[in-house]
Amino acid sequence: MLSQQSIAIIKSTVPVLEVHGTAITKRFYQMMFAENPELLNIFNHANQKQGRQQTALANAVYAAALHIDKLETILPVVRQIAHKHRSLGVKAEHYPIVGRNLLAAIKDVLGDAATEEILNAWAEAYGVIADVFISVEAEMYEQSKKQQGGWAGFRAFKVAKKVRESDVITSFYLVPQDGEGIAAYEPGQYISIKLEMPGETNTHIRQYSLSDAPGKPYYRISVKREDELGDRPAGKVSCYLHEQVTEGSLLLLSAPAGDFILDQEDSRPVVLISGGVGLTPMVSMLNALAESGSSRQVTFIHAARNGDAHAMRKQVEELAARHSNISVHWCYEQPSERDREDRKYGKEGYIDLTWLQSLVPTADACFYFCGPVPFMKVIYRMLKEWGVADEDARYEFFGPAGSLASA
């Protein structure tokens, strides 16, 4: 347990972290990768370049400092991060490296303001927080390994089938190379893929939501090809999967992980809202609800640029046609002429609250949403405006966790 003196000192640094948190975490990653370049095999380089990882860590450090006297408050966040760490292969031996460089970065950024007293308090606090993460992650590793069909680390899977779903999204059906069973998962969870690509110094790991219902002899992921756009470079991994990985290729996968999961015990209506490739966990949830024979009212809402970019539309429409409790609705930002001719979309432009309320009769429902961060901010703001309870507005970030509250 932390001493009262250390708790008081940590709390006194909260205003400083609010101002300098991102500068500290940016410097932290620079120092850590210079000292331990092998960790570049774990971290997502694109998130580093975009600053998303630095911001996510700064938010986590700030939250830890703010709630240092009641760390149980941040346990849900700890478990969310721990899922990602287990999926990536973060181990207990990495935590001393992180702690050493985090303290060095605090000292480097704050200079003389980072007194010996402050650094000692943070060293003590980091030790307590690291122990929590290590304990939670050890339990997750053990559960992953011991469950039926489970495994530790990464396991070789073969691409059994590759299916083009839209102009930009392709599905990969993955079966274990060893022919043995696979671990079960909850609708909404993800797997990690580790790749060694020609010309790349480091391995690259990416996490992809599973896009089919559990209980199949395969895992399915549906990947958007991230092409170059303005100042944003093309996605190395997504382009490699689309262009180089073929049926029969082998990929290394970690066991399913994640805490963004469908609550199948709740009997209230469920609303699944997605934008772009954010539909992948939603389709998993939708398929799971349909296959379970659930009588819950299900509203599936998807926003896409147009019909050419809309993945799995036919599959979802066929599912709705077979289940009277499922309704599906499309919103196209820039419908093509062909879209306008068949009029199979319900709205042109963007999802708004008036349209949402016309589709969903009550705010007393479970809302799940996923997509690009700007899209999720809009959906989050609308649900708050409607009065949807915090616990009923559930969402997943693709990549490091961020905040939707600034919407």
Task: Give yes or no: residues 32 and 127 share one domain.
Answer: yes
In this structure, are residues 172 and 208 in contact, taking their beta carbons and an 8 Å threshold?
A: no
pLDDT at 47: 65
Task: Give yes or no: residues 124 and 212 share one domain.
Answer: no
Determine if residue 172 is labeled as part of a ligand binding site. no
User: Amino acid letter at 154?
Assistant: F
In this structure, are residues 259 and 206 in contact, taking their beta carbons and an 8 Å threshold?
A: no
The rounded mean pLDDT for the chain is 91
CA–CA distance, 76 with 85 (Å, rounded to integer): 14
CA–CA distance, 201 with 195 (Å, rounded to integer): 11
Task: Give yes or no: residues 138 and 172 share one domain.
Answer: no
Determine if residue 96 is labeled as part of a ligand binding site. no
Whether the per-residue pLDDT at 328 is higher than 90: the answer is: yes
Domain boundary among 105, 128, 146: 146
Determine if residue 402 is labeled as part of a ligand binding site. no
CA–CA distance, 384 with 377 (Å, rounded to integer): 11
Task: Give yes or no: residues 186 and 125 share one domain.
Answer: no
Determine if residue 67 is labeled as part of a ligand binding site. no
137 catalytic? Reply is yes
Q: Is the residue at 303 inside a domain? A: yes
Task: Give yes or no: residues 390 and 284 share one domain.
Answer: yes
User: Which residue range forms the structural domain that includes residue 225?
Assistant: 155-253
Q: Is the residue at 46 inside a domain? A: yes
Half-sphere exposure of 104 (CA within 13 A, CB side): 14
CATH code of the domain in which 46 resides: 1.10.490.10
CATH code of the domain in which 373 resides: 3.40.50.80
| Catalytic residue, candidates 29, 62, 95, 219 | 95
Torsion angle, CA of 285/206/315/352, rounded to 10 degrees? 70
**Which pair of tokens denotes residue 249?**
């290729």
C-alpha distances (whole Å) from 358 to each of 243, 355, 362 are: 41, 5, 10
Q: Is the residue at 265 inside a domain? A: no
CA–CA distance, 72 with 57 (Å, rounded to integer): 18
CA–CA distance, 303 with 371 (Å, rounded to integer): 9
Task: Give yes or no: residues 142 and 72 share one domain.
Answer: yes
Q: Please give the model's pTM, rounded to 2 decimal places.
A: 0.91
pLDDT tens for each residue of 74-101: 888 889 889 999 999 999 999 999 999 9
Q: By C-alpha distance, which of 117, 96, 92, 97 is closest to 107? A: 117
pLDDT at 74: 82
Q: Is the residue at 109 inside a domain? A: yes
Task: Give yes or no: residues 138 and 163 share one domain.
Answer: no
pLDDT tens for each residue of 272-304: 999 999 999 999 999 999 999 899 999 999 999
Determine if residue 181 is labeled as part of a ligand binding site. no
Q: How big is the chain, counted in residues?
A: 407
124 catalytic? Reply is no
pLDDT tens for each residue of 1-57: 788 999 999 999 999 888 998 999 999 999 999 999 999 998 877 666 766 778 878
pLDDT at 405: 63
Q: Is the residue at 405 inside a domain? A: no
Task: Give yes or no: residues 248 and 377 share one domain.
Answer: no
| Catalytic residue, candidates 124, 137, 165, 226 | 137
pLDDT at 403: 56
